[in-house]
A and B are shown apart, each in its own frame.
Chain A
Amino acid sequence: MIEARELCKTFKDKKRGEVKAVDSVSFFCKAGEVFGLLGPNGAGKTTTLRMLSTALKPTSGTATISGIDVAENPAKVRSQIGFLSGNTGLYGRLTAREMVSYFGKLYGMSRQDIEDRSKKLFDMLEMNDFADARNDKLSTGMKQKVSIARSVVHDPPVMVFDEPTTGLDVMSSRTIVEFIHQCRNDGKCVIFSTHIMSEAMRLCNRVGIIHQGRLYAEGTPQELLEKTSTGSLEDAFIKIVEE
C-alpha cells in the first residue's frame, strides 16, 4: 500500500549549504500492517513522512500510496491518507463538529456522508458530550480525540502518524496508541514515526531504523534483535547505527 523507492530530499541552508535530510530511503508497508520509522530527532523521519503525504516534493526517487505516485497525482494521494502528528493543533474558535465537517468538505464528501460519519466517529470516540463546544475550551485528551476524528473523517485506507505521542500526557498517548491498534485491526496501512523505542516495540509489525537521513536496517523488531544479538530495541538501534 505504501512503497518508497530511493526517496531523497535536500534542503538549501544558508549556513550549511545543501543538506541531505533524506538520503535514498526505501521501504514498504502493506494493508493491516504498522510500519515504524525509528530514529532520533533530526534523523529525517518527519521529512520522509511529509514526502509520503505530499506536503513536500521528493528531490529524487519516488513513492506510491495505493499504487498512486506522490509526485504525479498528489491530489489523489491526499484523498487516500489520514495525517496526524503530535503538534497538530485545532481551530480554537470552531467546535469539533464544525472542524470535522470542514475537513469532510475539503475531502469532497457530501453533507449526508459527513453527518453519518461524524455520528459514527463521535460515538466511537465518546465525543458526544463536547462535540458542540469550542475547541479551545476542551481538555488535552478531548482535543486529541477531535484531532483523531478530523484525521479519519474520509475513512482513508492509509494512515500517517508523525511522532503522534510527542508532548502528550499519559492518558492522551494511550488514546492515540489504542487508535493506532484500531486502525491496524480495521485493515488500514499505518506508518508512524517515533523516537520512543518501547512504543515502536509495542505497536509495530516492522520497523525501519533511520539516522542522518539514511535507513540503516529494516525488519520485524524480533529480527532486528536477533540480527544484533541484543535484548532491547534501544541497544539494537545503537549497535546498528554505530556499525
Chain B
Amino acid sequence: MRMRTVHTIFMKEMKDTLRDRRTLIFMIAVPIVAIPILMMGLSSLMVSQIEKVQEEKSVVVIQGMGNLPPDLKDILVSAEEISAKSETEFGGGDVQEQLKAGAIDALVVIPEYFSQAIESESTTEIEIYYDEAEFSSEFALGKVRDLLSEYSDRVVETRLVLREMSQDVINPFDVSSYNVAPTQKVAGEKIGGFLPYIVIIMCFMGAMYPAIDLAAGEKERGTLETLLVSPASRGEFVMGKYFVILVTGIVAALLSMASLTFSLNYMAGEMTKLATQALAIEFDFTTVILILMIVLPLAGIFAATLLSLSIFARSFKEAQSYITALNMLILFPAVISLLPGIELDYGLSLIPVVNVTLIIKQAIGGEINWNYVVVAFVSTNFLAAITLFFAKKWFEKESVLFRM
C-alpha cells in the first residue's frame, strides 16, 4: 500500500464529499443548527407549559359542599390556587363524566355528616377523583390534598390543646434525608443517557451519505470500473474512502457533542427556573479525552460497516435500504443507555454502542471506572479492525464488485 495513492484518493473523495449538499446537512447543519434549535425550543416549550399549568386555577367541584364545616369550606373556597365550586354552582350534569371530559380538574366528594364526624372525633373519609393521564388534573389533586392536610393538622392541633397535650405526643421523631450526590451525578443520571444516544446517531448519520456515495455511488455512476483498471490497488481505494467516511462521522459526532453540551446546559438553566435541582453538565479535560477515545473507534466500526454495505449494494437506493436496517440495529443498543438502572459491567463493556453510551453516561455523572473503559476501548478497536479488514476483502471480491 502506497501512502501517496491513499492520500490522492482521500483528497479527491473529501473534495467531492464536501461539495455534496446532503453530506453537509448531516455532518454540519444538523449538529450545529438543528439540534440546539430543537432542544432549546423543546425545553422552552416544556417550561412554559409547566408554568402555565401551575399558574392556572384548577377547577375543583365539591360534591356535598353543605356537609363541610364552615372553616374548611372557607379554606377551600378562598384558596387562590383552586376555584372550588359546588355542584349547583358548576351547573349540574354528570360531574364524573365532566371530569373524564376534562372540564373539571378534580372532583371532591364530602360524605354526609362529615362535620358531625369531625366534631365527635370519629374518623371519616373524603374522596378525590382525578384523571392521572391529565397533567392539570394531577396538579389539582396535589393542591386539594395540601389544603385538606393543612386543615387536618389544624384539627389535630385543637384536639391536642383541648387535652392539654404537646404536639410531640403524635410526633415521636423527625426523619430528615440529605442528598449526597453532586449535581453532576444527578445530571448524568437524568440526561446523561440522552447525550451519547444523540452523539452516536449523529456519528452514524454523518458518515452515512458519504459511505453510500463513495461505493454504491461509484457503481451507479459507472465510475467503479475506471477505478478498478487504474493502477491504484483495491486496498488503497478502501483506505482512501474509509478515512473520508471516518472523518465525516467523527466531525458530525464532535459537533453534535459540542452543541448538545451547550443546549443541555441551556435546558438545565431553564429547568432551574422551576426550582428543581440545577443540572449543570460540565466537561473537564479528562471527560473529553475519554469520550473521544471511545467514540473514535466506534466511528471506525461505523465507517467500515457502512463502506462494506455500500460496496455490496448494486445501487444508491439499495445501499440506502441496507443502511436504514443497520440504523435500527444501532438505535436499539443506544436506547439501552436511556433505560434507568442499567449499570456498566465487564459483559456490557464488550458490546459496541452499549459500552460507549454507558461510559459517556457515567463520565457525565463524574464517575469513571477506567477498567471498563480499557475493556471497551480494546474491544471496540478490535471490532473496528475486523470490520475494516472485512471491507477490504469485500472490495477485492469480483462477485461483490460486479454483483448482478
Chain B residues 208 to 232 lying within 8 A of chain A, measured CB to CB, are 220-223, 225-232
Check A88/B398 contact, CB under 8 A, given A78-B231, A93-B20, A107-B231.
no
Smallest Cβ-Cβ distance to A104: which chain B residue: B8
Q: For the complex, is B5 an interface residue (Cβ under 8 Å from A)? A: yes
Q: For the complex, is B15 an interface residue (Cβ under 8 Å from A)? A: yes
Task: Looking at the assembled complex, report how far the CB atom of B241 sits from the nearest CB atom of chain A, in whole angstroms.
Answer: 13
Collect the chain B residues with CB atoms within 8 Å of residue A40's CB: none
- A50–B402 alpha-carbon span in the complex (Å): 11
User: Interface centre among B9, B231, B401, by most A CB within 10 Å?
Assistant: B231
Q: Indicate if the CB atoms of B20 and A106 lie closer than 8 Å.
A: no
Check A91/B229 contact, CB under 8 A, given A56-B402, A98-B15, A102-B8.
no
Chain A residues 151 to 170 lying within 8 A of chain B, measured CB to CB, are 151, 160
Q: Give the residue of B8, B16, B19, B225 whose beta carbon is less than 8 angstroms from that of A55.
A: B225
Check A56/B225 contact, CB under 8 A, given A79-B231, A102-B12.
no
Collect the chain A residues with CB atoms within 8 Å of residue B229's CB: 53-55, 78, 81, 83, 160
Check A57/B225 contact, CB under 8 A, given A94-B15, A106-B231.
no
Q: Indicate if the CB atoms of A56 and B231 lie closer than 8 Å.
A: no
Q: Indicate if the CB atoms of A85 and B225 lie closer than 8 Å.
A: yes
Q: For the complex, is B379 an interface residue (Cβ under 8 Å from A)? A: no
Collect the chain A residues with CB atoms within 8 Å of residue B398's CB: 56-57
- A50–B224 alpha-carbon span in the complex (Å): 12
- A11–B225 alpha-carbon span in the complex (Å): 18
- A98–B15 alpha-carbon span in the complex (Å): 10
- A94–B17 alpha-carbon span in the complex (Å): 10
Chain B residues 168 to 201 lying within 8 A of chain A, measured CB to CB, are none
Q: Indicate if the CB atoms of A91 and B223 lie closer than 8 Å.
A: yes
Q: For the complex, is B233 an interface residue (Cβ under 8 Å from A)? A: yes
Q: For the complex, is A202 an interface residue (Cβ under 8 Å from B)? A: no
Q: Indicate if the CB atoms of A105 and B8 lie closer than 8 Å.
A: yes
Q: For the complex, is B149 an interface residue (Cβ under 8 Å from A)? A: no
Q: Indicate if the CB atoms of B16 and A93 lie closer than 8 Å.
A: yes
Collect the chain A residues with CB atoms within 8 Å of residue B227's CB: 106
Mask for A61-104, Cβ within 8 A of B = 1, else 0? 00000000000000100110101010111111110001000110
Q: Indicate if the CB atoms of A91 and B231 lie closer than 8 Å.
A: no
- A2–B310 alpha-carbon span in the complex (Å): 35
Task: Looking at the assembled complex, report how far the CB atom of A159 sits from the nearest CB atom of chain B, in whole angstroms.
Answer: 12
Collect the chain B residues with CB atoms within 8 Å of residue A107's CB: 230-231
User: Interface centre among B8, B229, B231, B398, by most A CB within 10 Å?
Assistant: B229
A-B contact pairs, 30 of them (CB 8 A): A12-B399, A53-B228, A53-B229, A54-B228, A55-B229, A55-B401, A75-B231, A83-B225, A87-B222, A88-B223, A88-B225, A88-B226, A89-B220, A90-B221, A90-B223, A91-B221, A93-B16, A94-B15, A98-B12, A98-B15, A102-B8, A103-B230, A105-B5, A106-B5, A106-B231, A106-B232, A107-B230, A108-B231, A150-B226, A160-B229
Footprint of A on B, CB under 8 Å?
A: 5, 8-9, 12, 15-16, 19-20, 220-223, 225-233, 398-399, 401-402
The 8 A-B pairs with the shortest beta carbon distances in the complex, nearest first, are A89-B221, A89-B222, A93-B19, A87-B222, A53-B229, A105-B8, A55-B228, A106-B230
